[in-house]
Structures are given as structure tokens and as C-alpha cells.
Structure 1
Amino acid sequence: MTRTAAIIGGGVIGGGWAARFLLNGWNVQVFDPDPNCAAIFAEVLDNARRSLPGLTDVALPPEGAISFHATVAEAVAGAAWIQESVPERLELKHKVLAEVQAACDPAAVIGSSTSGFKPSELQDGAARPGQIMVTHPFNPVYLMPLVEVVPSAQTDLALVEQAETILHSLGMYPLRVRKEIDAHIADRFLEAVWREALWLVKDGVATTQEIDESIRMGFGIRWAQMGLFETYRTAGGNAGMRHFMAQFGPALKWPWTKLMDVPEFTDELVDLIAGQSDEQSGHLTISELLKARDDNLVGLMRALKANDWGAGAVLNAQQKAIDPRPQSLADVADLGRPILMGRRAVPLDWTDYNGHMNEAKYLQAFCDATDRFMELVGCDMDYIATGGSYFTAETHIRHVAEANAGDVIDIHTRLLGGEGKKMHLWHEMTRNGEIVATGEHFLLHVSLETRRPSEPKAEIVAALAQIAQAQAGLPLPEGAGRHVGQKR
């Protein structure tokens, strides 16, 4: 059943929230008095459609519908989630939240994107204080997983848990803040780094580019997958955090920072920083910078995903929840037909100079389907740990049509032969029912101890026999058994 989210307040943050919900199958209803709101949202949605699907190895749910409304009351009608993203003026937020509560479902989550206000400040004078909480995201909202979830003492904790469940389903990481505090958690770190950076530029110690390089070439990469304390723990070696604290704790007394002494925001300082920033990246348009940012974020998070680490673990959890592929033979509705072994969008980093999926990625997609088929018949990691597995002996791929970034491709697999040590698979990659490519794989069961062909265990033999018997009546696929250069 499709659910509905209401976005109150447009701009980059509201548009990012809309994209996150929309591309995860929610209908989205928007209110913003800005006549350019739809155009702003369209640009954000174009960027999200281009990048977000590449974060998962299975296709996201079918996209929801987006609509724009003339009043707050119309936008919140029927919404299970209401996200307020209006400008950071408390009196404006109070006015908007009052309009929201006058018309919305009392059981709906009302989250605020505020980066600074505490939930108790937002709840002041509200009809139902317990319904309101802070859900502070990070830009771009459609890619970044972190959401700071901040309740007050009055917030309904059951509603907070409901909000966290929804955020997890969107591929996001809800971080519940234990106590109310101005600017929550993450922005307080960002503000500290920002203030120190201002001093470094003002005092001529570093340029804006040098400061950015120190982050992205150094601790930024470490922080992306370990955070602050775990990074410092590893710096302590085998002795861990205690050793690190003993070694570097005294440095806290040294005059390394001017964090408590903020430089005056003069025109001269603004000009200095703006000029250096223009020199650093003025040769690129904002659109080019945004595309580069999104490409880099996707690549980084996909790398983390491969190790099931940090933001990648969040993506893996979402992927598992939305994966349409059968988890066991009992889940296959009809063994007599090719079995769905892959459904995914073609990510950005799978395309080549021609703009379509390159040859290596066709092979990867078919290899992933083979691995999934092996798991289906019982050759999973637990089985492999006992000393047996399948090795690929021969592969033949036919490229029939193009697949481009963002295309959703399905891979259906059938068993052409599975007697004894052999496993002969046929994969068909399709887009909207049209064949894009075929892959024929011949594998042998091997002892990992001797590295020689060996007989698989009885349960795998039985599973293969069950599939082979069910698919025995299927005609031989067109192209099976072909070789390079063979005449048609």
C-alpha cells in the first residue's frame, strides 16, 4: 500500500526530502508559497533519480506520485509523515505547525528539519506537543543517511519509534539525540570546524583549498567509515583508546585552537574567503559540482556497502528489506520457469565512455546472478566454509541491446544441466521485458582443499535435480551453445 508524505516548505532541503520519499515509493504532497517551487523540486528530483538508485543492488520500489497544493491543509491530508522545512524563524515555524496540526492526522509523524531549534521550542503553544519532533537531515537529503531525531520530554516515544522505523525503510540512519541541545550533535561539530577554519584563513595559515584538501585527503575519509572516537581508538594501537588518551590527552591543554574566540565577520574576511573559494572551484558551475558530489558520494557509500560498514551497512539493511529475489527454493512460485536472480538499476560507475554499461559490468551482473543461484541451491557461505564450491570453467556473453545508467534490469536464470559435478546456467538480462544480454555459464564443483573437481553434497544434488526436472520441458534458449564467430 502506497503511503503519503507531506513536505511543507520547499527549497533544497524540502526537495531532498521529497526525492527521498518519492523514490522509495511514497506519494508526496507539497506546499510552498514560492511560485518557483516546482522548478526547484524538478532539478533536485532529476539529480536524485540520476544518483540514488545506484546505491542499491536491487531496484527501488516504483516511484510515487508528487503533487503541489495551494494550502497546508490540502498538503497534509492523508499524510503519515509531515516534514516541515520552512526558514529558521521560530515564529514562522509556530504558525506553520499550528496550521499543520489543525488539519493533519493526529497519528502522523510531524518532523522539523530545523538545524538549531530544540523540539520543546517548536512545541511551545502547540495543540498536540507530543506529535512534534526534530528530524534534522543532511544535504543532499536523498543520498545522506543521517537524520538527527530529537524528541523532548513531551514527545510521544511510540511516535518517535514509528518515525525511526520509517526512516530505516527509506535507507536512512536515525540518530536519536539523548538530550535537547541547540544545534543538536553534528552541526555543533561542523560549527567548531568552521570557526577554526575561519581563523586559519584570516591568519594566513591556510587557504580555503588547503583546508578542504586536509579534510578530504585525510581524516574526512577515515571519519566517513569510523567516526571520531573509533578513529582515535585505532590510533592507540593494540592498547586502544586508553593508550591514545594517555599519549594525546595532554594536548588538550595546549593552545591549538581558537574555538572560544570567534573572529569578527568583517567585509574583509568575507571577501578573503569568497575570493579564495572562487579561485579554488570557480572554474566549475554549481551544477557540475553537485554532479561530482553525488557521484563521489555514491562511489564512497558503495565501497562502504561492499564491506557492510558505516553508511554501507544501512544501505545493505534497506536492500535486504526490499529485495524481490527468492531467498530459498520454497519461495520460488514456479520452478518450471526461469527464476529471478537479479533486479537492479544500472549505477553511474557501471557506464563507459559510450554512456552505456560496459562489458565488465555485464559479466559482474551475471556473476552476481550465478552467486545468488548457488545460494539458492545450498552452496552458500556456510557450505563453502566446509570445503566445497563451484568454479566457473567457461562463460559466453551476448550483447543484444544497450543498457544505460538508471535503467532497471532483471536477470532470470534457468538450469540447462546440473548432473554430478556440473552446473550449466543460462541467464537472460532484460529491460522492460526486452532482452539486453544473455550469459551462459558452465561451472564445476571443486574441493577447496585439492582444487580439483569433486562431487557436491547430497542436498545440493537434490536441489539441482528438483530444478532440472521442473525446467526439463522448456525449449533450449535461442543462442545457447553459441561461440564467438559462429554463423547465425
Structure 2
Amino acid sequence: MTKTAAIIGGGVIGGGWAARFALSGWDVAIFDPDPEAERKISEVMANARRSLPALSEVALPPEGQVKIVPTIADAVAGADWIQESAPERLEMKHKIFNEIQTHCHKDALIGSSTSGFKPSELQQGARHPSQIFVAHPFNPVYLLPLIELVGDVATTTRAHAVLAELGMKPLKVRKEIDAHVADRFLEAVWREALWLIKDGIATTEEIDDAIRFGFGLRWGQMGLFETYRIAGGEAGMAHFIEQFGPCLQWPWTKLMDVPELTDELVQMIASQSDAQSGAHTIRELERIRDDNLVSMMRSLKGRDWGAGALLNSHDARLEANADPDFTKPIISVARAIPIDWTDYNGHMNESRYGQLWSDAADALMRMIGADAAYVKSGFSYFTADTHTKFRNECHAGDNVTVVTTILEGAGKKLRLFHELKNADGDVVATCNQFLLHVSLETRKSCDPAPHVSDKLTSIIAAQAALPKPELS
């Protein structure tokens, strides 16, 4: 039986909730008095359809029906989950909750997206106070999994089960507090950032760079305390606090109200850190951290953003310094195998061999002048056929090279033979790759520009004296 969610308030957060539910197979009814609500929701849904399925290696459930309804009563009738995402005005929220509870069934879960109000404030004057709880998400709701749950234990326990089925990470806050947990961190960083700007210490871009090129990457995969546990070395969390705790009293920040680091507090933190991370040695944690950081930054390389854009520009500098001698075998790829290229068998999976052949062909294209500017002008080489033969295995950390031989380069045809070799010079795999030169406008084959064909001819001539590879 299809479940139904009611979304009250279809702005950025409400729209994100609607997308998360709908793409998880729930029917969704949305109430929002904004005349532009339908357009805005459809745009959020389009973004979610493009991105959320990309997180999964399996198909998502069939998408639920999404509809805009004229009243709160229409939205909540028969709803299993009701999510209020109205502006942060308590009086307005009280009126909305009264309307919701007038028309919803008694077992419906009523969550609020509030980033600051406590459940006790939201529940004031409510018909059934325990039915209302905080379910605070993070934008974009359809991608980021964290939801802070605050409220009645029985109600938030039910909510926890629902959110887990949606693929989210519910965090049950132990006690109600203004701004819950995560936003208190964000608020502290935000306040400090405002002072840094006001005092002329840093610009908005410089502050963002400090986060996205530094501690933001560490936090993204290990959080705060596990990061500091590693900083404490083999002596652990208690040693870290002993070493760096006094810094909290130094005038480094405008936020100077810090708790006293009593023996009791240090022991509490250390024991919780042991429970969190004690199953791993410090060296194991370092390797886990390093593998995670490599995977994250390599992902950013694919988007040419943040730390990934920096890595791409560094790669380009390294490649620009190379001056190939075409009287010798062409080394089209020289690299280490990254951790995210390996599979459950512990070796590089076959799709990454294809990646290496593609990278090798791209490198040769740049060598002959069919570079990014050439592609931008409307021409390129497309792979028409490949044949790969596997002879051995590659593992994470292996240093490999691809030696590329031009077998054919006349007119629109380009045939390459690639040999993937390990550090010992042994051939791990080979590929016979056939490419056609094409017009990107017509998507049909055509002859390359004279400067490309001339360069290709000169390279083939320079390679003529070299022994030919075995093609078997």
C-alpha cells in the first residue's frame, strides 16, 4: 500500500522533503499559498530526479504522485507523515499545527523543519502535543541524509523508522535545546566568520576556501571527534585534550564561553571516543581517513570544483612539463591506481581498464593537436570499437603505465594499441582501440584538420623504427 506524505510549505526545504518522499515511492500532497509553488516544486523535483538516483547502485522505487492542493485540510487528510516547513514564526506555526490536527488522523506523524524552535515551544496550545516533533533536515533534503529528531520518545522512535526506510540518517537529540545540535556548530562558525570579515582578516571566498580545502574535507568523512582522535596520535583522545585544551582559553576566537576541562569531562569525552573509534588502531584510522579523502577529492575532480579543481590544474601543470620524445615508445598514461578503482575482489574492476584506454586515447589526442580547444571548435575522435585482453591484476596503489602504439592514422581512421604495464614492466592488459574522426555538429565522420593529420603523420614516421607490439 502506497504511503502518503503531506508537505505544508513548498519552499526550498518543503520542496526537498517532497522530492525525498516522492522518489522513495510515497504519494505527496503539498499545500503552499504561493502562486508560484507548482513551478518551484517542479524545478526542485527535476533536480532531485537528476541527482538522487545517482547515489544508488540499484533502481529506486516507482515515483509517487505529487500534487498541489488548495488547503491544509486537503493535504493532511489520510497522510501518514506531515511535514511543516513554514517560515520561522512561532505564531504562524501554532496556527498551522492547529489546522493540521483538526483534519489529520491521530496516528499521523507531524514533523517540523524548524531549525531553532524546541518541541515544547511548537506544542504550545496543541490538541495532541506529543504528536508534534522536530524533524530538522539539511538542504538539499533529497540528498543530505541527516535529520535531527527532537520530541516525544515514542513519536520520534516511529519517525526514526520511517526516515531510515527513506535512506536517511535520523539523529535523536537527547535533550531539547535551541537550534538543536548541527546548527549550533554552524552558528558558531558563522559568527566567527562574520568577525573575520568585519575585522578585515579574510574575505568570504578566503573563508570558504579555508573550509573546503581543509577541515571541511576531514569533517565530511570523520566528523569532529574522530578527526581529533587521530590528531592525538597513539596516546588517544585524552592526550589530545591535554595538549590542545588550554588553547580554548587563549583569545583566538570571539566565542570565549567554554566549559572547564575537568577530569570528569575529559574522561567522558575520552570514553565516548573509545566507544566510537576504539575498534581501530590509530594507523588504521589514518589509512581509512586517507582513503576517504582521496575518494572525496577524486570525486570533486570529476566536477572540477573546489579541491578537485585544484588537483586538475596541478595535473595539467605536471602534464605540460612533459615533452614526449616520439622516437621512443609513447607513454600515454603514468599513474597510481586509486582506492576507488578497486572492487570487492580487491583488484581494479574492468570498467577502469576502459577508463585507462580512454585516458590514453585522450592523451594521444592532445599530443596530435586534437585537444580541448580543437574539441571546442567542433571536432573530435570517437571510439568505435575496443578489444581488451586481461593477463594479470591491478591493485590499489600499483604504479602503472600505458604504452600506446599508433597502428593506423590515415584520413579519418585512428587505430591504437595500448599495453598496460605494472612497475615490473609486465603487461597486465592490452587494448586494440579503433577511433573515427567526427564533426560534433553533424555527428558524422570526416577528415581531421591539416595540423592534426600532419602531426599524426610525423609521429608515425618517428615511431617507424620501433619494434611492433604483439597483437595477440
Paired AA for residue 241 in structure 1: M
Measure how far apart 1:260 and its partner are. 5.6
Match of 1:110 in 2: 110
Q: Deviations over 1:205-227 (max 9, x none)?
A: 11111100000000000000111
Distance across 2 between alignment mates of 1:441 and 1:60: 33
Match of 2:35 in 1: 35
Match of 1:9 in 2: 9
- Alignment of 1:181 onto 2:177: yes
1:163 paired residue among 159, 165, 181: 159
Distance across 2 between alignment mates of 1:239 and 1:27: 52
1:39-438 aligned at under 5 Å gives the runs 39-151=39-151, 155=152, 157-259=153-255
Measure how far apart 1:130 and its partner are. 1.1
Match of 2:466 in 1: none
Greater RCO (CA < 8 Å, at least 6 residues apart)? 1
Distance across 2 between alignment mates of 1:77 and 1:67: 13
Measure how far apart 1:445 and its partner are. 13
Match of 2:407 in 1: none
Measure how far apart 1:9 and its partner are. 0.7
SS in structure 2 at match of 1:221: helix
User: What RMSD over aligned residues (CA atoms) do the two structures have, in Å?
Assistant: 3.6
Measure how far apart 1:441 and its partner are. 10
Distance across 2 between alignment mates of 1:57 and 1:75: 33
Q: Deviations over 1:352-403 (max 9, x none)?
A: xxxxxxxxxxxxxxxx9xx8xxxxxxxx87xx9xxxx9x98xx99xxxxxxx
Q: Deviations over 1:272-324 (max 9, x none)?
A: xxxxxxxxxxxxxxxxxxxxxxxxxxxxxxxx9xx899xx9xxxxxxxxxxxx
Measure how far apart 1:243 and its partner are. 1.4
Q: Deviations over 1:130-151 (max 9, x none)?
A: 1110000001111111110011
Contact 2:13 2:85 in 1 (8 A): yes
Distance across 1 between alignment mates of 2:157 and 2:231: 36
Distance across 2 between alignment mates of 1:84 and 1:439: 54
Paired AA for residue 119 in structure 1: P
Distance across 1 between alignment mates of 2:70 and 2:112: 20
Identify if the C-alpha distance between structure 1 residues 7 and 246 changes in structure 2 by more than 3 Å, giving closer, same or farther: same
Measure how far apart 1:440 and its partner are. 11
Identify if the C-alpha distance between structure 1 residues 484 and 221 changes in structure 2 by more than 3 Å, giving closer, same or farther: closer
Match of 2:456 in 1: none
Distance across 1 between alignment mates of 2:154 and 2:391: 53
Measure how far apart 1:439 and its partner are. 12
Identify if the C-alpha distance between structure 1 residues 260 and 443 changes in structure 2 by more than 3 Å, giving closer, same or farther: closer
Distance across 2 between alignment mates of 1:135 and 1:349: 33
Distance across 2 between alignment mates of 1:109 and 1:441: 55
Match of 2:262 in 1: none
Paired AA for residue 243 in structure 1: H
Identity of aligned residues (%): 63
Paired AA for residue 6 in structure 2: A
Measure how far apart 1:158 and its partner are. 2.7
Paired AA for residue 190 in structure 1: L
Contact 2:5 2:79 in 1 (8 A): yes
SS in structure 1 at match of 2:236: helix
Paired AA for residue 230 in structure 2: T
1:431-470 aligned at under 5 Å gives the runs none
SS in structure 2 at match of 1:135: strand
Identify if the C-alpha distance between structure 1 residues 88 and 440 changes in structure 2 by more than 3 Å, giving closer, same or farther: same
Q: Deviations over 1:327-362 (max 9, x none)?
A: xxxxxxxxxxxxxxxxxxxxx979xxxxxxxxxxxx
SS in structure 2 at match of 1:181: coil
Paired AA for residue 41 in structure 1: I
Identify if the C-alpha distance between structure 1 residues 123 and 72 changes in structure 2 by more than 3 Å, giving closer, same or farther: same
Distance across 1 between alignment mates of 2:46 and 2:37: 14
Distance across 2 between alignment mates of 1:136 and 1:112: 7
Distance across 1 between alignment mates of 2:48 and 2:32: 20
Structure 2 gaps, min length 5: 258-287, 304-340, 355-384, 394-431, 435-472
Paired AA for residue 169 in structure 2: Y
Measure how far apart 1:129 and its partner are. 0.6
Distance across 1 between alignment mates of 2:387 and 2:154: 52
Paired AA for residue 66 in structure 1: V
Identify if the C-alpha distance between structure 1 residues 51 and 162 changes in structure 2 by more than 3 Å, giving closer, same or farther: same
Paired AA for residue 203 in structure 2: T
Identify if the C-alpha distance between structure 1 residues 484 and 439 changes in structure 2 by more than 3 Å, giving closer, same or farther: closer
Paired AA for residue 116 in structure 1: G
Measure how far apart 1:10 and its partner are. 1.2
Measure how far apart 1:159 and its partner are. 2.4
Distance across 1 between alignment mates of 2:223 and 2:136: 19
Distance across 2 between alignment mates of 1:23 and 1:260: 45
SS in structure 2 at match of 1:107: coil
Paired AA for residue 197 in structure 2: V
Distance across 2 between alignment mates of 1:107 and 1:212: 44
Distance across 1 between alignment mates of 2:433 and 2:201: 62
Identify if the C-alpha distance between structure 1 residues 188 and 74 changes in structure 2 by more than 3 Å, giving closer, same or farther: same
Distance across 1 between alignment mates of 2:87 and 2:14: 11
Measure how far apart 1:200 and its partner are. 0.5
Match of 1:331 in 2: none
Distance across 2 between alignment mates of 1:209 and 1:168: 36
Paired AA for residue 159 in structure 2: A
Distance across 2 between alignment mates of 1:92 and 1:15: 19
Distance across 1 between alignment mates of 2:50 and 2:241: 44
* Number of residues of Structure 1 aligned to a counterpart in Structure 2: 296
Distance across 1 between alignment mates of 2:250 and 2:23: 49
SS in structure 2 at match of 1:29: strand
Structure 1 gaps, min length 5: 262-303, 313-347, 351-367, 372-379, 397-437, 447-482
Measure how far apart 1:442 and its partner are. 10
Measure how far apart 1:170 and its partner are. 1.1
